Chain A
Amino acid sequence: MKHVFFLDGQETPFIPGQNVLEAAIAAGQDRQIPYFCFHPALGSLGACRQCAVKMYPHDSKHPPRITMACLLPASDDLQLVTLEADVHTEHREIIELLMTNHPLDCPVCDEGGQCHLQDMTVQTGHSVRHYSGPKRTYRNQDLGPLVYQEMNRCITCYRCVRFYQDAALGEDFGVFGSRNRVSFGRLEDGPLESPFSGNLVEVCPTGVFTDKVFRHDYVRVWDLQQGPSVCPHCAVGCNTTPGARLGTLRRIRNRQNPEINGHFLCDRGRYAFPYVTAHSRPLQPRLKGETSRQEAVLRQLASRLEEGRSGFLGSPREDLQSNLGLFALADCLHAPFAAVTSSWAEALAQQCLALPQAPSLQEVAAADRIVVIGDLDSIAPMAGFAVRQALGRGARLTVLASSRTGLARKGDYRPLRPSALPDVVSRLADDPCLQGGRLPVLLATAETLGPAGLFALRKTLEKLPANARAGAFVNRPNLFGAAYFAADGHTERLQQALRQREIHHLLCLGADPLGEDWGAGTWRTLSPGLDGLALLDMVDSQTARAAEALLPVAAFPERAGLFVNYEGRIQAFAPVYRREAQVLHSAVHGSAFPEAAGGMKHPLGPPPPLFWLGRLAELLQVHEAWQQRLDFYLHFLCPTAPDPESPGVLLPDTLRARFAIAALPTTPTVESGQWELDIFRWYGGETLADTAEDLQSLAPLRGLRVHPDVQAEWATLQGPCGQLHLPVIPCEDMVQGVIAIDQEGFAELGLYPGDPVEVTWEQGS
């Protein structure tokens, strides 16, 4: 049955349970009802008194009365009016009160042009301030490099503190004072600690909290080019709206996708974008380290490939089509191909794909029994946010990890060594922490749990009620996409071919096998057998510096593509802007783009990987076959390509079923008394994010984290591929016997989480 009420005579549909304001906003009638304290994700408060409507009762006994739309439950046939003079007066007078202390700041305020307060003030017609007394002023706090505060602009809607404390469960931000001296901030100056702090910028309807990174290269919002994109920084695939101007990316905002990120983004998703404008970003093709003409690089690379002794390496950091393009080219040339850099990562990807349909974040937020394995916030922060929402609704949370993580502080924490996880996970089905729930959900950071743990997770899931769900996360946007066509043993075969000198050349896409990717230690030992390495990438990496041929590629907001997220949801992103032409002497060379200055066919910045791969296929005279294969694979994986504006389409179950046979991977055994490794990450750490200076200024120290029982200042770790000398960071929260290092460290050593490791402890440096 369709439910409607009447707003100014117009039918407004509603879903039972909605309030009048919510329904009016959803129906696009919010022009009639101004509001402040209501926020679709934070609910009603009834504090600002701005959303007045006049309600006409059905009988004639009661007079019509003015009431708050955000507190009025929508019900059938309600008669509501906003167009009458007294409602309008109410709107205007309330906003005048809210504006009493507000500075006349719009021309110098970053919020100007995208300000809810500005919009509402104009909408209600308040234009003359009757109050002429002094205004209340505040000392602003320095809240760190991401969020800028200008407290004088506050209208006390409490949205910020409701977001920070109630939704994000942050503890270092609050509301102080009373009456007209209320202020919002931290106990003292200092960076906001929550991985979700950037959302203050979006929830605050005024210019109190504005984007401090955007501020460095600011532009009025009406001058921004914006479009639908998908966050490339982890497997969640939050929907974003990048904004660019004059060919440079300026900021990232949330794009609402109710099934994934709702109204919010994590700080990595919001603030990691400067990889696009980083000085170190490769923009010109390079041959042996020197900037070179595109044709020269392509021809050199084509001649390498013609020799028939090349291997191909894709990446979960690159999008679906680019990986498919590389795969298709390898296929045409009958060359070995791998989608990930190590067999361990391959097993991990396969076990992730073998899991049955993962829950959407919306479903996670509705779960009532949650088990989190590993430090979820540091891998896929918005998944951690969904867990917080579930906690807010009374869910019971259990966290299995080797240190007391942010989420562990909010639930039952079970300290565990990573090598113990597979065993513990396999017994979870009978564990009291999952009993008695309506919707049990298990969320794991794939790397900490490891292939064997993921296998155990799948088996546990079979024993749980049918509605139980599990999801595994990595900090790569396209593990599912890249791994899908990485059949068993591909990585091993590629490395074996290199070891046996069957190949001596490698073409990599968005991978860093000589830097920090999993298995980099092995690649490094194999690299003497490489005569040449070519790379298509958008960031400067160790592999990029070592590459013989480097072809720069467009950053994600500069091109179209598809990512497959942790649910197997295929999401499309669209090109949002084009880079500024890099034409240096166009006046001298006339209108044509100067060949000599790089001779790029694409004068507007680096092209997408498919362009380069297509050109290579042309030069190798396999273009037709390449295109056919590419189209075929793409159609196979994704018969109906989703629209960037759509919520994405899920990979069909039949495609996943292929992986359900994935066998139990072997695990190293850790003897008691042996040290074992776990991975340490923080929410801002990820390959692309690593070049974002503001975000990285918050990065924790690099070192080796261990329980303070260990009395040492330095430690040397020994692995099969090398050794590592690191300062010791004593960490109260760590499980004894476990050492946590970053991914770079693992790459150096050639080890994986849960592996035993040899350590020598040292005093002094």
Chain B
Amino acid sequence: MVAESPVPEAAISEILQALQKARGYIDDEALQLAATMTGLSPVKVEELCTFYSLLLREPVGIHVMRVCDSIACHMAGAQDILAQARQHCGVEFGEVSRSGKLTVIPHVCIGMCDRAPALMVDDEALGPMDKQALTRLLAQLEADVWKPS
């Protein structure tokens, strides 16, 4: 990736995404590695990691569910979706559920306002969600039978 970039620094987002894919999240070691590869300071890499909400700096479950809580979804009941998901996990947002299968994170608009309330599981955007649909989804995730379409 570095070789394909006009300057090494330009490869940073791709490198971080690849590292996150491989490790689930960007741990300190991955952060240092990305810094060394691009010649950016670790502070600069951390600036990027904390700026982009799709990059994660904490350990997460096998699946990450990002529930949109921006305006359109909020109007359509995002808070209920979030509450239900949190209750299912039994831990706070951002933490790994007891089963280790899931982390739920409130998230800014994911561009699915027309299908509010929307959410994203790993790389897949889903919506509109309601209580039943979410219950089904959560059960599939727990049973490891959920597949992205």
Contact = CB atoms under 8 A, between A and B. Distances in A.
- Chain B interface mostly helix, strand, loop or mixed? helix
Nearest to B31: A187
A171 interface: yes
B4 interface: no
A178 B53 contact: yes
Nearest to B47: A174
Nearest to B52: A178
Interface in B12-59: 41-44, 46-47, 50-53
A176 B50 contact: yes
Interface in A169-227: 171-178, 186-187
B96 to A, nearest CB: 21
Contact of B41 (A172, A175, A177, A178): A172
B44 A174 contact: yes
Nearest to A161: B47
B50 A177 contact: yes
Interface residues of A, number: 10
A173 B43 contact: yes
B50 A178 contact: yes
A321 B34 CA distance: 57
Contact of A171 (B41, B51, B53): B41
A171 B35 CA distance: 12
A618 to B, nearest CB: 61
Contacts of B41: 171-172, 174
Contacts of A186: 43
Contacts of A175: 47
Nearest to A174: B43
Nearest to A179: B108
A187 B46 contact: yes
A178 B43 contact: no
Contacts of A176: 46-47, 50-51
Interface string A424-436: 0000000000000
A175 B41 CA distance: 13
Contacts of B43: 171-174, 186-187
Nearest to B46: A187
A409 to B, nearest CB: 11
A640 B43 CA distance: 51
A229 B46 CA distance: 41
Contacts of A174: 41, 43-44, 46-47
Nearest to B40: A171
B42 A178 contact: no
Nearest to A183: B50
A167 to B, nearest CB: 16
A587 to B, nearest CB: 58
A175 B43 CA distance: 8
A175 B47 CA distance: 6
A177 B47 CA distance: 7
Contacts of A171: 41, 43-44
A178 B42 CA distance: 18
Contacts of B53: 178
Nearest to A185: B43
Contacts of A177: 50-51
A316 B42 CA distance: 42
A190 to B, nearest CB: 12
A174 B48 CA distance: 10
Nearest to B53: A178
Nearest to A181: B50
A175 B52 CA distance: 13
A741 to B, nearest CB: 30
Contacts of B42: 187
Interface string A49-63: 000000000000000
Given A176-B50, A178-B51, 6 more contacts: A172-B41, A174-B41, A174-B44, A175-B47, A176-B46, A187-B43
Query: What are the 4 closest A-B residue pairs judged by CB atoms, nearest first?
Result: A171-B41, A174-B43, A176-B50, A177-B50
26 contacts: A171-B41, A171-B43, A171-B44, A172-B41, A172-B43, A173-B43, A174-B41, A174-B43, A174-B44, A174-B46, A174-B47, A175-B47, A176-B46, A176-B47, A176-B50, A176-B51, A177-B50, A177-B51, A178-B50, A178-B51, A178-B52, A178-B53, A186-B43, A187-B42, A187-B43, A187-B46
